[in-house]
Chain A
Amino acid sequence: MKKFLAIILTLAMALSLVACGGDKPEESAKPEESAKTEESAKTEESSGADVYKIGVVLPMTGGSARMGELQYEGMKLFAEHYNEAIGGIQSLGGAKIELVLADSTGDPATGASEAERLINNEKVDALAGPYNSSVGAVMQPIAEKYGVPFTVTNCTADNVQMTEGELKYTFRPNHSNSSNVGAILDCLAFLQEKDSSVDLSSFAIIYENTDWGNSCVDTYAAALEAAGYEMKICESFESGSADFSTIVNKIKNSGAGFIMPCMYVSDAVLFMNQYTEYGLDNALIWAGGGILTDDFITSVGDLANNQITLNGWCVDTMAESNDPELCDWLSERCKEDTGSELNENVANGWIGVATLIQAVEDAGTKDKDAVAAAMKALDLGRDSLALLLHAYEGIKMGEKETWDGSGVMQNQNIYSAGIMTQIVDGQIRQIYPDWSGNPLVWPVA
């Protein structure tokens, strides 16, 4: 009997370890091409050819697992493309990119210990990830302490790029919350101008009690108030909520003009349904998060239509891409691997690793200080592979003030900025900055 129990427990522990800390490719890779790439990467490694190891920390389980999975897809597809089509890192003699995945579960403590494990045990050359701002905030000092280049993906909270001293190794190519403020304020003014009968003079903000959620309040809510919008409700909740009825009722009785939810997928779906059940008709201006995944659109069906959200990327952003053929390949592969269309999470995974690899190419060495210095010196234009998906003017790491000038983010892509999008017929479309053929539906019925 003890033997039987031991087998069961060992199996349970082994499976959990595989899921927690193992390489995701073996677990999730379905397409043959992906398997081939991993196989070739391993062959190269075993035959003695050089590899550039990137330790990827992402939430692969827990409430934000879907976003982690999609972000990893963007990184994986970049590595696959670079290893196969370009032949690896040219300045390192064709060294292949190898991603070593670790599961943060979305928990800062787990993310921190996984980052340390990747650095000390896996001996990674750089770090990438980790989607959740709260995890990014604890990984930043670890990267700085060990002197490991760290390309931050998502983690839009301003504080991830802020420290008292000099930030040497941590870089964020995608946008921050502060760089989204302009898009939100301009878009609201644009919507108000388009139809003045909709009350947008006051708002309610609902945010999950995490670094990202709190940062949304510290930036968006504060910026809105500073711009003259009256904040009627500011409510926090714990991620993975079982019920939003009280918050919905508070909003209903508050007379708020519009609502800004800051939440991930399952919470966003639950909130959207309860918003409908309780007959609310306030405009919804989402702060991104879970609404940007296909899962939201699939789960709430028609209710998703016409929802307006802050975003970092959408299919329209790709219209000016420097390589439409590659975009099509990415789009097909993403659908095949994850069942999802390309979205902000995939795009931010791509830009994060692509920016890091460009710095490695420039440095011509795996030396961590040299790569960090090359990262700091980057000045990429629209034709860069890193900007395949994003419509940023370029990538240049520098200092950027927070929205109110109260602090300075270091090593932040100074060209990054948020956009406003709307779900139109199940597709996330850009509505701001204005676009030819803008599909805006306003006011939302």
Chain B
Amino acid sequence: MLYLQTFIDALMIGGVYSVIAVGLSLIFGVMRVINWSHGESLMVSMLIALYMNQYTPLDPYVIMLIVGAVMFVYGYVLQSVVISRILSRETDREPISCLLFTAGLGMVMSYSVQIIFGSKQVMAQTKYNGRALHMGDLVVSLPKLIAFIIAVVAVAALWTFLQKSEYGRAIRATSQNRSVATLMGISEKRVYSVSFAIGTMLVGLAGGMLIPYFSVYPTVGSVFSNKSFIIVVLGGKGSVPGALLGGLIVGLIEKFGALFFSESVAQIIVFLMFIAILLFKPTGLLSKDKG
């Protein structure tokens, strides 16, 4: 029973990791930009959700959708106004200046929040806090179950969009070869803006769904962003199903590692796996990228 419970817990937390990582993966896959402000975007999303929860009567999951929309607009504007200008000067396949820019942006976001809101560590009070489904001896955390379902639906919807829609094909074409895609009449800048916006929207959704069980504070993003980078490398940079698989694998390693050893040892195992992937399968499990 303990193993089954651990398996369920692993799936739940793995789903959360996936939805946070998939946005990062998409942005990298299409634009080759490593968004170092990903964790801080999550933190800002959580903060917006926290205040909306405090000052409006809306359900946290309705708030989550609003935050997702807000972050979509944020991502679109950020890419089309700022990042596109930096990117247009880059000739490298993986632009270093964008990496530096997003790292700087992340620091600005984190310290600005600290200065404006202080270092409080607060969790939203919602009707979902501390609630769980009890099935015999098995327990499933309600906010995490909802988060898992949202994660799977979001990843599936994104995958379908990328595979089946006209615009999704345009995004994939641009990710494969931006010069050829431009020659085919695809607006590279618009594709990048939409991709970046989808990436930040997913982080917005993740931020909204985290608030019923996770505290908000200026550096909360680092709790998840480090794992997101591992998941993206594990699943394959740019692979949407890879991000889902990577998240679930990290969840399983963490939970079973903690069961057999300890939480601290489990984290070591996760990082050892990260090193092993970089050494033996640098393209990740599901990426078609040849590296």
Contacts and interface: CB of A to CB of B under 8 A. Distances in A.
Interface of A: 1-2, 4-5, 8-9, 11-13, 15-16, 18-19, 27-28, 60-63, 65-66, 68-69, 209, 235-238, 240-247, 249-250, 253, 265-266, 269-270, 273-274, 276-279, 290, 293, 295, 298-301, 303, 338-339
Interface in B192-222: 213-215, 217-220, 222
Contacts of B264: 209, 236-238
Contacts of A19: 111, 114-115
10 contacts: A1-B88, A5-B86, A19-B115, A62-B219, A65-B114, A68-B119, A246-B254, A249-B5, A277-B141, A278-B132
Nearest to A19: B111
B125 to A, nearest CB: 6
B273 interface: no
Contact of A270 (B115, B214, B222, B259): B214
Interface stretch (B97-105, B172-180, B276-284): B97-105
B267 interface: yes
Interface of A is mostly: helix
B134 A279 contact: yes
Given A11-B108, A277-B139, A270 B215 contact: yes
Contact of A339 (B120, B134, B222): B120
Nearest to B118: A69
Given A273-B213, A277-B132, A277-B139, A4 B85 contact: yes
Q: Which 8 A-B residue pairings sit nearest by Cβ, starting from the closest?
A: A12-B104, A65-B119, A237-B263, A299-B123, A276-B130, A246-B258, A245-B9, A19-B111
B219 A238 contact: no
Nearest to B142: A277
Contacts of A62: 219
Contact of B121 (A5, A12, A273, A299): A299
A236 B268 CA distance: 13
Interface of B is mostly: helix
A5 B217 contact: no
Contacts of B263: 235-238, 241, 244, 246-247
A301 B5 contact: no
A244 B12 CA distance: 12
Contact of B220 (A12, A236, A238, A266): A266
B25 interface: no
Interface of B: 2, 5-6, 9, 12-13, 16-17, 82, 85-86, 88-89, 97, 100-101, 103-105, 107-108, 110-112, 114-115, 118-123, 125, 129-132, 134, 139, 141-142, 213-215, 217-220, 222-224, 227, 254-255, 258-259, 262-264, 267
B108 A277 contact: no
Contacts of A270: 213-215
A16 B85 contact: no
Contacts of B139: 277-279
Contacts of B222: 240
Contacts of B255: 243, 245-246
B141 to A, nearest CB: 5
B152 to A, nearest CB: 18
A28 B117 CA distance: 10
B73 to A, nearest CB: 20
Contacts of B2: 249, 253
A279 B122 CA distance: 23
B81 to A, nearest CB: 11
Nearest to B82: A8
Contacts, number: 166
Contacts of B254: 243, 246
Contacts of B130: 273, 276-277, 303
Nearest to B260: A246
A265 B215 contact: yes
B85 to A, nearest CB: 6
A247 B2 CA distance: 11
B112 A15 contact: yes
Given A61-B111, A61-B218, A266-B217, A250 B259 contact: yes
A363 to B, nearest CB: 35
A279 B130 CA distance: 9
A65 B104 contact: no
A243 B16 CA distance: 11
A265 B101 contact: no
Given A61-B218, A279-B132, A246 B107 contact: no
A160 B89 CA distance: 52
Contacts of A276: 130
A108 B13 CA distance: 30
A61 B119 contact: yes
B118 A339 contact: yes
Contact of A9 (B101, B142, B213, B219): B101
Given A265-B121, A277-B130, A278-B132, A61 B114 contact: yes
Given A65-B218, A276-B130, A60 B119 contact: yes
B86 A245 contact: no
Given A68-B119, A240-B223, A277-B139, 12 more contacts: A1-B85, A13-B104, A15-B111, A66-B119, A240-B222, A242-B16, A250-B259, A266-B220, A273-B123, A273-B130, A279-B134, A299-B123
B121 A274 contact: no
A390 to B, nearest CB: 24
Nearest to A4: B85
Contacts of A4: 85
A18 B111 contact: yes
Contacts of B118: 28, 66, 69, 338-339
Contact of A12 (B9, B85, B105): B105
A87 to B, nearest CB: 31
A1 B219 contact: no
A249 B219 contact: no
A236 B257 CA distance: 12
A270 B214 CA distance: 6
A295 B100 CA distance: 34
A263 to B, nearest CB: 11
A323 to B, nearest CB: 28
Contacts of A299: 121-123, 125, 215
A319 to B, nearest CB: 28
A18 B105 CA distance: 15
A338 B139 CA distance: 38
B39 to A, nearest CB: 12
